[in-house]
Chain A
Amino acid sequence: MTTEQTAADLPIWRDGRFQADEWALAGEGEAVSEGPALLPLARFLAEREALAARNAPLGVLVEPNEAIEELAPHLDRVALVALNFPKYADGRAMSSARLLRERYGYRGEVRAVGDVLIDQMPLMRRCGFDAFAVANEPTRRQLAAGKWPDVPFYLQPTGATTQHEIPAGTRPWARRPD
């Protein structure tokens, strides 16, 4: 790994490589930047009329205790939904991601942020995440080395996942990677 590929410069794992983060977080009371802006859900809901006049893309940061249903009616104006994992073992955002993709048909970026570790990433992807903000160094090292600890035999149809899966055999619940 080259020195440029540090968590600070290229924090986002997307499409099989580390990339820069073009989004700026605007927490409560902070200024909203000119470029792509990421707002906490409450702020987005409160200010969305005013924000509609902006020209740059909007993203929304959703905490696991917040209901993704509240964001659902506004998804057509949102280019990024970042779902937070305060701890890797908190699986609520897994459900939120599936609802975004499968129930609300959301096509924009669904990003995992927070405690994102390699052993959960294949599961996240199957739930519909397509981008991952990765700070954990061992995880970054393993991703850079091409590791992706998937078990490529799936026993659940997770609907509109971001990876292409096809039915495996006659079981309606089984899938394999295409």
Chain B
Amino acid sequence: MYRYDEFDHGFVAARTAQFRDQVERRLSGELTEDQFKPLRLMNGVYLQLHAYMLRIAIPYGTLSARQLRKLAHIGRVYDKGYGHFTTRQNIQFNWPALKDIPAILDELASVEMHALQTSGNCIRNVTTDHFAGAAADEIADPRPYAEILRQWSSIHPEFSYLPRKFKIAVTGAPSDRAAIQLHDIGLELKRGPDGATGFAVYVGGGQGRTPMIAHKVRDYLPEEELLTYIEAVMRVYNLHGRRDNKYKARIKILVHETGAAEITRQIEAEYEEVRKTDLLRLPESEIQRIAAYFAPPDLPEKPARSGALEAAKADSREFATFVENNVTPHKAAGYGVVTVSLKPIGGIPGDATDRQMEVVADLAERYSQSEIRVSHEQNLVLPHVALDDLPALYASLKAQGLATGNAGLVTDIIACPGLDYCALANARSIPLAQDLSTRFGSPERQKEIGELKIKISGCINACGHHHVGHIGLLGVDKRGEEVYQITLGGSGDETASVGALVGPGFKTEEVVDAVETVVDTYLRLRESPDETFLAAVRRLGQQPFKEALYGAA
């Protein structure tokens, strides 16, 4: 884990003191809500439907047990006893009082956390693969680079008033679990011709009302050039991104309107200029120094096969299902990466109670080198678990309702807050997620369906990532009525694609049936159980699903 030094502590303390002063000016009436707005946004404080909301950064989704315990404490003392993990590897508290927020920020600072740049038109929390540093298929750990980017982008004097928010994601593995092609900048770690480490650079992806897949602007960028190159991209965007219309202000629109070839030329030209200053070149020694914080834990050697695990699997179908779906291969033999699902059947996706957070923190201490990850799919991850420990870990999780064996399955649904919390919503997202989860909840049914990602957004802003759902559900307002549109074939992985609308929307009481029709159509038409939903939609196209939903034309 990255550890703050004196400089980092000083930085966060100074920033918290500054915001405390701003909150006091707001509470005393010296600042109007209008004047306060940009200041609170820079510190992660939103105004929601019912109350202020505080969004806390979990850089690259990595938490220590101590930090997670602190989040539990904040949820208990300042909120209603829970927190909500988001699709951007952050956590949100929905009910803090404004007067308490400086105290919360102090509490966070005591465990090296903050809420900086979780909103506003700046470079946001940098996200990565939630299996970083553990997954067997990784080329290199992306987190040291995400940490360098996090630092360099903090209160950047030139890039704090961009045309719009800016999101960077980094993956260290060829199977992209960070959805890099749907970010303003996506970075893929790769080996260069000389065996050195570098990046493929993608620019201009994004969701929202105009979803776009990013363009690759660089096939290989040596790692020491990372900040130099990113500064060039940011400057081109800051100077030329549209500011006349906030819906056209993301870099994806600039790339689209300028053309990928021309934008690449502009970025490269600016990069050559920035390079001349030599200010941002990353020395190997410094990359190594940061990388050392993320050194793989010293795991005791184990045989690849665990007798205890195999025996427990043979004993319990439920446990075997959990292992099959929620445990991913680890770099080290005899270990696994465990997904702790925050999607209990019929529950609210991404919510965790203070007690659950504490239990996961305890279990991380006992079984996972005190480390926890937050995934963009709104689950938690224990990255370094010995296979021998899985039965005991499972039993403890189960006692807290945290052992749902559904990672990657139809009930592992992403949903935005929707009408229950959000002033912009057209429709409810959470209750729909709950109904779908209940409908498909049986283990046999889920196993039969296999990998299937359902993602729900309550409006066109696409916080719930419906564009990249294998099945996407979008709430729209149709003459005062909540209606859900269905998209098919989206994907956020290395084969990224935006889902296509299948036809007219469905009313609240019809939409669960409609999704079931889509799923049944897939089951009927797939070539074999090995053909996933996504593969089948890509092969079959929309037509059979249209016919099943709306009847033959």
Contact = CB atoms under 8 A, between A and B. Distances in A.
B66 interface: no
A105 to B, nearest CB: 11
Interface in A134-178: 138, 149, 151-159, 168-174, 176
Interface in B260-309: 273, 277, 279-283, 285-286, 289
B229 to A, nearest CB: 14
A123 interface: yes
Interface in B127-166: 148, 151-162
Residue of A92, A152, A176 contacting most chain B CB atoms (<10 Å): A92
B48 interface: no
A70 to B, nearest CB: 13
Interface in A83-114: 88-92, 94-96, 98, 102-103
A173 B277 contact: no
Contacts of B381: none
A152 B14 contact: yes
Given A119-B39, A173-B227, A174-B7, A91 B158 contact: yes
Contacts of B158: 91, 94-95, 98, 123, 127, 156, 158
Interface residues of B, number: 40
A149 B42 CA distance: 14
B289 A170 contact: yes
B280 A157 contact: yes
A127 B157 contact: yes
Contact of A91 (B160, B273, B285): B160
B136 to A, nearest CB: 32
Contact of A171 (B151, B160, B277): B151
B159 A91 contact: yes
Nearest to A67: B239
B7 A169 contact: yes
Contacts of A90: 161, 243
A153 B243 contact: no
Given A92-B239, A102-B277, A173 B151 contact: yes
A153 B283 contact: no
Contacts of A138: 30
A94 B234 CA distance: 12
B240 to A, nearest CB: 9
A131 B248 CA distance: 33
B544 interface: no
Interface residues of A, number: 37
Nearest to A160: B277
B39 A172 contact: no
A155 B154 contact: yes
B328 interface: no
Given A153-B14, A157-B280, A123 B157 contact: yes
Interface in B7-31: 7, 10-11, 14-15, 18, 21, 30
A89 B162 CA distance: 8
Contacts of A122: 157
A80 to B, nearest CB: 21
Nearest to A127: B157
A123 B14 contact: no
Contacts of A170: 285-286, 289
Contact of A173 (B39, B152, B161): B152
A155 B11 CA distance: 9
Given A94-B238, A151-B18, A171-B286, A103 B157 contact: no
B157 A173 contact: no
B121 interface: yes
Contacts of A92: 238-239, 243
A33 interface: no
A144 to B, nearest CB: 15
Contacts of B443: none
B408 interface: no
Contact of B5 (A124, A158, A169): A169
Contacts of B121: 89, 91
Contacts of A6: none
Contacts of A173: 148, 151-152, 227, 280
A122 B152 CA distance: 17
A174 B273 CA distance: 21
Contacts of B14: 151-153
A94 B162 CA distance: 10
Given A91-B158, A94-B159, 11 more contacts: A94-B158, A103-B273, A119-B38, A123-B157, A123-B158, A127-B157, A151-B15, A151-B18, A156-B157, A169-B5, A170-B285
Interface of B: 5, 7, 10-11, 14-15, 18, 21, 30, 38-39, 121, 148, 151-162, 227, 235, 238-239, 243, 273, 277, 279-283, 285-286, 289
Name the 9 nearest CB pairs between A and B, nearest first. A91-B161, A153-B11, A126-B157, A123-B157, A151-B14, A157-B279, A94-B158, A155-B151, A155-B154
18 contacts: A91-B161, A96-B239, A98-B158, A119-B38, A122-B157, A123-B157, A127-B157, A138-B30, A151-B18, A156-B156, A157-B280, A158-B157, A159-B277, A159-B279, A169-B5, A172-B280, A174-B151, A176-B7
